Chain A
Amino acid sequence: MDFILLSILKTAIAAPVLLGTLAYLVWIERKVLAHVQLRMGPSRVGPHGLLQPIADAIKLLTKEDFIPSYVNHVYYWLAPWLALMFAVTAISVLPVGPIVEIFGVKTNMGQADISIGLLLILGLTGMGVYGIALAGWSSNNKYSLLGGLRSSAQMISYELPMALAIASPLLIVNSLNLREIVNGQAGHVFGIIPNWNAIGGLQIFSFIIYLICAFAETNRIPFDLPEAENELVSGYNTEYSSMKFAAFFMAEYANIITACSVATTLFLGGWHPIIPNELGGQFIPTLICFFFAGVLFYHALNPARPSDRLSMGVIGAIILGLGLLFQVPVVKELAQPLFWFASKAGFLIFVFIWVRGTVPRFRYDQLMRFAWLVLFPAALLNLLLTAFVVAAKSN
């Protein structure tokens, strides 16, 4: 099939999925946070608050777009879309599955398969800081400016240990192409321990360093100083409302998805299963779905609320069907890699939310000291050791 047509088709599938995930990530985050803090979370709009993202979207779209008179108009308009653009385009090079053949068409599961994929992601996410910095500066407000300043200083500082942490698995895999990086982690050590960089490749330290830096790069708690509410009102986005505010919000979540997907690709073996397929790894997605379906059916039979009898039953049936789908011959080739990639990235996103519910915010000097005096030397040492090991192995 024509390359351009195929690319458009893939984008037509990927873009709605990404935007839907972005919207529902907010719902998931609010629910998980609520349960961490022993609350219910959103529960009014739709069953279990499931329609909350749609209500939020309508609210943000119809809200008055108030622009203060003292802002620098050009950059004030530019900033949110700059942030969103770079956050969303970075996802385009991530492969979510192997090269598959559908109806005789051979294609990779992912938008673009380029030789410098990882560097491109680093470059694009690095560009994202302009959105935040410009927003802070053009708002002409001291809180916003402080937020923008903090953000750019933080991004520059944490990009260094992050790049060093990324470099050590690259030494093992010996490629910058994301597909080759994942394929380099295929198989299992002793037939059972997955040969992922974080486990079989013994890169657990660089994995942890990468994750910590990812928290800082995406401005998440405990490193969310650019928008620290109790000091800076809301930081760089204080003066923004309506869709421009939503653009920043979506950019933040898109960055989280990118960071978690990159971590999955680099350290957790991408779409490769945790247990080899010969030992029954291909049945795990189905078993997990059956387990959740069972839990839901149990709650449907013993309803806590009258409405649960219907809603839990229907969702349980859907998940049961999904579980069976993982064993259908043609769908299997697509669904299984997708399941493994999504579950690993999803677990990391859950960790992001989990940390937000547990760890308090750093002080600004602590943040900087931590980056330069702890993370940077640790990442450097890790890279050095990895280099020695790789050199010793290749001789």
Chain B
Amino acid sequence: MDVILFTFFALVAIVGAVSLVLQKHPISSALSLVSVMVALAVLFLLLGAEFIAAAQLVVYSGAIMVLFVFVIMLLNAGAERESRKGGLAQFLGLPLTAILLVFASYVITQSMSNAKAVKFGAFTGGGPREVGWELFTRYLLPFEVTSILILIAIAGAVVLARKEID
């Protein structure tokens, strides 16, 4: 059952990711990304990280992607027109991508040679309590630094938007 679910949602994620690049219309691309996010949430859930799964659903597909769709709708962006056929990229694109993927998987398998196969449901440290505990003890400094970074980004966005209005 777990393997079937994993295969299905992994396929959904991959198809969504490919369709994100291939789609001509920005709305279709955004919705492909949403399907990737949802599939990833289910994969997290299968691994036993239920809080990450819920956060993925609430934050990424429920808030950030809604904002994307909102902006696309607001700007009324149409389907993109095909520019000139990129001569070299057309022939070298796929082989280079394949080489990159092979290289990346090689590096990952080499650097984590002692990794074992995943047992679905074996990991139990993914609840909100465990995640919160880790965030506020072991990763306190990175967590606080990130929050300050986000605060600066918000302030920056406000400053930039205000300049535009004036």
Do A and B interact with each other, yes or no?
yes
Please give the residue numbers on chain A whose beta carbons come within 8 Å of chain B beta carbons, in ascending order: 75, 114-116, 119-120, 122-124, 126-127, 129-130, 133-134, 136-137, 145, 148-149, 152-153, 155-156, 159, 176
Tell me the bound Cα distance from A93 to B34 in angstroms.
23
B63 touches A156 (CB 8 A): yes
Tell me the bound Cα distance from A114 to B45 in angstroms.
12
Interface residue from A120, A133, A145 paired with B54 (Cβ < 8 Å): A120
Contacts A126-B66, A129-B66, A130-B34 hold; do A149 and B27 have CB atoms under 8 A apart?
Answer: no
Tell me the bound Cα distance from A155 to B66 in angstroms.
9
Which residues on B sit within 8 Å (CB–CB) of A130?
Answer: 31, 34, 66, 69
Interface residue from B62, B67, B70 paired with A123 (Cβ < 8 Å): B62
Q: Which residue of B lies closest to A136 (CB)?
A: B73
Tell me the bound Cα distance from A126 to B56 in angstroms.
12
Q: Which residue of A lies closest to B65 (CB)?
A: A130
Which residues on A sit within 8 Å (CB–CB) of B118?
Answer: none
- 23 of the cross-chain contacts (CB-CB < 8 Å) are A75-B27, A116-B53, A116-B54, A116-B127, A122-B54, A123-B41, A123-B57, A124-B57, A126-B57, A126-B63, A126-B66, A127-B57, A130-B31, A130-B66, A133-B66, A133-B69, A134-B27, A137-B69, A145-B73, A145-B76, A152-B66, A152-B70, A153-B70
Tell me the bound Cα distance from A130 to B67 in angstroms.
11
Which residues on A sit within 8 Å (CB–CB) of B55?
Answer: 119
Does any Cβ of A come within 8 Å of B32's Cβ? Answer: no
Tell me the bound Cα distance from A152 to B65 in angstroms.
11
Tell me the bound Cα distance from A137 to B25 in angstroms.
13
Interface residue from A127, A156, A176 paired with B70 (Cβ < 8 Å): A156
A156 touches B57 (CB 8 A): no
Which residues on A sit within 8 Å (CB–CB) of B4?
Answer: none
Contacts A130-B66, A156-B63 hold; do A122 and B58 have CB atoms under 8 A apart?
Answer: yes
Which residues on A sit within 8 Å (CB–CB) of B128?
Answer: 116, 119, 176
A119 touches B54 (CB 8 A): yes
Which residues on B sit within 8 Å (CB–CB) of A133?
Answer: 66, 69-70, 73
CB distance from B58 to the nearest CB of A (A): 5
Which residues on B sit within 8 Å (CB–CB) of A155?
Answer: 66
Tell me the bound Cα distance from A126 to B58 in angstroms.
7
A115 touches B70 (CB 8 A): no
Q: Mark B40-83, 1 if CB is under 8 A from A, else 0.
A: 01000000001101110110011100110110011010000000
Tell me the bound Cα distance from A152 to B54 in angstroms.
20
Which residues on B sit within 8 Å (CB–CB) of A129?
Answer: 62, 66
Instruction: Give the secondary structure class of A's interface.
Output: helix
Which residues on A sit within 8 Å (CB–CB) of B70?
Answer: 133, 149, 152-153, 156
Which residues on A sit within 8 Å (CB–CB) of B69?
Answer: 130, 133-134, 137, 152
A148 touches B57 (CB 8 A): no
Interface residue from A115, A116, A149 paired with B73 (Cβ < 8 Å): A149
Tell me the bound Cα distance from A148 to B76 in angstroms.
12
Which residues on A sit within 8 Å (CB–CB) of B31?
Answer: 130, 134
A123 touches B54 (CB 8 A): yes
Which residues on A sit within 8 Å (CB–CB) of B41?
Answer: 123
Tell me the bound Cα distance from A116 to B54 in angstroms.
7
CB distance from A144 to the nearest CB of B (A): 11
Tell me the bound Cα distance from A95 to B34 in angstroms.
29
Q: Mark B120-152, 1 if CB is under 8 A from A, else 0.
A: 000000011000000000000000000000000
Q: Which residue of B lies closest to A124 (CB)?
A: B57
Which residues on A sit within 8 Å (CB–CB) of B57?
Answer: 119-120, 123-124, 126-127
Tell me the bound Cα distance from A113 to B50 in angstroms.
13
A sample of 14 more A-B contacts (CB under 8 A), given A126-B57, A126-B61, is A116-B53, A119-B51, A120-B57, A123-B54, A123-B62, A126-B62, A126-B66, A127-B38, A129-B66, A130-B31, A152-B70, A159-B62, A159-B63, A176-B128
Which residues on B sit within 8 Å (CB–CB) of A75?
Answer: 27
CB distance from A139 to the nearest CB of B (A): 11
The 7 closest A-B pairs by CB, nearest first: A126-B62, A123-B57, A119-B54, A152-B70, A123-B58, A116-B54, A116-B50
CB distance from B150 to the nearest CB of A (A): 14
Tell me the bound Cα distance from A315 to B53 in angstroms.
48
Tell me the bound Cα distance from A129 to B41 in angstroms.
18
CB distance from B123 to the nearest CB of A (A): 14
Which residues on A sit within 8 Å (CB–CB) of B27?
Answer: 75, 134, 137
Which residues on B sit within 8 Å (CB–CB) of A137?
Answer: 27, 69, 73
Q: Which residue of B lies closest to A123 (CB)?
A: B57
A115 touches B127 (CB 8 A): yes
Which residues on A sit within 8 Å (CB–CB) of B63?
Answer: 126, 156, 159
Tell me the bound Cα distance from A161 to B66 in angstroms.
17
Tell me the bound Cα distance from A129 to B31 in angstroms.
13
